[in-house]
């Protein structure tokens, strides 16, 4: 009787979950929502103020409340995704974003709108870090490079499209909703996103989940609040004493945060923001570029919305559509970005800063020559060239920052990157926006716009110089 020989069992490890095309579309849809909502209110603020009898200081809070809550909680959102599962946090954050958007759209008064916007920012902070972390954990190789490039393109396009969409929705007055449509439009998008996410987004989590860093979370929140709250609210409030006290406290809070994080890192515990992440050259140098780029981007969008409506006398739709060439150029150039970065390396980022600088100079020339008859035709050359330059920078910077972050720390890395971006976006409105509004009474709208755009140009030059220090290739 022959003896049956059985092969020894081979232990196999489960393949990591894969993020397919529908899943990638879903997470990119979610990535667009928070950025669209950061910029969509710019052209709607005059209408909101008139309808709710809200003063300038309260309207500033409609913008700042969302931005500060979003920035303060992003890193925590990334850590919670690592701990409890990124898909789970993604679904919860997206559902909360839809509910808080509904609350914004139905707000009966200015202060209830401010409260709903703060809650909306917190919801976005739970949702967005899971996007990058899922891409980092559920893709690899060329698929990850393509997904990261698409993420960067989505982020940049959302910031421009948000302002255009805001103008169109306010003017359309859908079913008599007026400005409320800019928030209510999120609800059907969120419902679609939840249905798609439940089916196509895989669950991922850190293999070694780490507890939340309580002291680090509190100190990061205090640091960002003491910087962003006075800068975003100070001018409209008349720079009361609390703004100066908060700014004076900022360096101490930031120093305490960094000391606590370094101590935790050295003792073997996992801090909220591991200082060891910044020893990775691609992350450190990418974040250095992210700050001046994002400050200039948001400051420009805020200034141009005010200048076109209050200075050039355009309505919400023409003011929004004046930036359409920027959005179109950004879309098409960003699609070519992966091929360009593969062929020419990170010098593509340097070329982008040069193009963006030329575009801003063309916008300065248009303002000097045509004011107050600024419209989509006069702004077209500058907006298109600037948009092309931005498209060569932002997607590639984002891809670079995350290129060497290990999948186990994908949530932390994505939280750090998006917090840096969001804080810089808020700083752009606070610094360049405040400078512009301060100069208007003294120089007039045209010269204030030109002067502030030239200051932004200095930031673009800085971005270009910093890009020369980048690694030549991106993983």
What is the distance between the alpha carbons of residues 203 and 220, in angstroms, rounded to a whole number?
A: 28
CB atoms within 10 A of CB 251: 12
Locate 466 and state its tokens.
């910093």
Sign of the alpha-carbon dihedral angle for 365, 369, 373, 375: negative
Phi/psi-derived region of residue 141, left when phi > 0, alpha when psi is between -120 and 50, beta in every other case: left
What is the distance between the alpha carbons of residues 353 and 365, in angstroms, rounded to a whole number?
A: 18
- What's the pLDDT at 43? 78
CA distances, 412 to each of 213, 276, 336, 397 (Å): 12, 12, 29, 17
Sequence-ordered list of residues with C-beta below 8 angstroms from that of 395, at least 6 positions apart, any chain: 148, 149, 150, 151, 152, 153, 155, 156, 334, 337
Locate 258 and state its tokens.
């960094």
Asked if 198 contacts 105 with a C-beta cutoff of 8 angstroms, the reply is no
- What's the pLDDT at 89? 93
- Main-chain phi, psi angles of 217, to 5 degrees: -60, -45
- What's the pLDDT at 15? 54
The string of pLDDT tens digits covering residues 242-285 is 999 999 999 999 999 999 989 988 887 778 788 878 887 888 88
Asked if 103 contacts 256 with a C-beta cutoff of 8 angstroms, the reply is no
Asked if 394 contacts 338 with a C-beta cutoff of 8 angstroms, the reply is no
- What's the pLDDT at 10? 40
Q: Comparing C-alpha atoms, which of 42, 223, 35 is closest to residue 124?
A: 35
Low pLDDT (below 70) residues in the chain: 1-16, 208-210, 407-408, 410-411, 474-475
Please write down the long-range contacts of 9-14, taking CB distance under 8 Å and 24 or more positions apart: none
Can you tell me which residue has the tokens 């690592």? Answer: 82
What is the distance between the alpha carbons of residues 256 and 251, in angstroms, rounded to a whole number?
A: 8
Asked if 144 contacts 475 with a C-beta cutoff of 8 angstroms, the reply is no
What is the distance between the alpha carbons of residues 368 and 453, in angstroms, rounded to a whole number?
A: 12
């Amino acid at each position: 009787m022959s003896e049956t020989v059985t092969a020894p069992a081979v232990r196999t490890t489960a393949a990591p979950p894969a993020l397919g095309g529908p899943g990638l579309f879903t997470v990119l849809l979610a990535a667009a929502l928070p950025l669209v909502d950061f910029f969509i209110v710019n052209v709607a603020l005059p209408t909101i103020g008139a309808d709710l009898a809200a003063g300038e200081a309260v309207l500033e809070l409609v913008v700042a409340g969302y931005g500060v809550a979003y920035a303060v909680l992003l890193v925590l959102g990334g850590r919670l995704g690592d701990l409890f599962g990124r898909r789970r946090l993604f679904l919860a954050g997206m559902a909360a974003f839809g509910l808080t958007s509904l609350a914004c759209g139905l707000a009966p008064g200015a202060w209830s709108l401010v409260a709903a916007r703060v809650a909306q920012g917190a919801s976005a902070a739970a949702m967005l870090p899971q996007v990058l972390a899922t891409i980092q954990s559920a893709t690899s190789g060329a698929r990850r490079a393509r997904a990261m490039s698409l993420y960067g393109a989505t982020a940049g396009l959302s910031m421009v499209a948000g302002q255009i969409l805001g103008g169109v929705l306010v003017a359309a007055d859908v079913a008599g909703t007026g400005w409320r449509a800019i928030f209510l439009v999120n609800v059907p998008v969120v419902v679609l996103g939840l249905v798609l996410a439940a089916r196509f987004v895989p669950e991922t989590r850190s293999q070694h989940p780490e507890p939340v860093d309580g002291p680090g979370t509190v100190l990061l929140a205090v640091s960002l609040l003491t910087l962003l709250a006075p800068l975003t609210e100070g001018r409209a409030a008349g720079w009361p004493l609390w703004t100066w006290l908060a700014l004076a406290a900022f360096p101490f809070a930031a120093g305490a945060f960094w000391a606590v994080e370094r101590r935790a890192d050295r003792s073997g515990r996992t801090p909220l923001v591991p200082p060891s992440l910044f020893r990775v050259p691609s992350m450190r140098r990418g974040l250095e570029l992210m700050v001046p780029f994002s400050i200039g981007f948001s400051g420009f969008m805020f200034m141009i919305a005010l200048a076109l409506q209050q200075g050039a006398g355009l309505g919400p739709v023409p003011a929004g559509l004046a930036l359409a060439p920027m959005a179109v150029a950004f879309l098409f150039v960003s699609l070519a970005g992966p091929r360009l970065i593969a062929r020419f390396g990170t010098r593509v980022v340097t070329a982008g800063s040069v193009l963006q600088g030329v575009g801003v100079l063309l916008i300065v020339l248009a303002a000097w020559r045509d004011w107050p008859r600024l419209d989509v035709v006069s702004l077209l050359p500058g907006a298109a060239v600037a948009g092309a330059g931005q498209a060569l920078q932002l997607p590639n910077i984002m891809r670079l920052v995350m290129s060497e972050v290990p999948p186990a720390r994908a949530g932390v890395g994505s939280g750090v990157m998006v917090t840096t971006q969001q804080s810089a976006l808020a700083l752009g409105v606070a610094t360049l926006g405040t400078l512009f509004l301060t100069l208007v009474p003294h120089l007039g709208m045209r010269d204030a716009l030109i002067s502030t755009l030239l200051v932004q140009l200095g930031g673009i030059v800085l971005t270009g110089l910093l890009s020369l220090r980048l690694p030549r290739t991106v993983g």
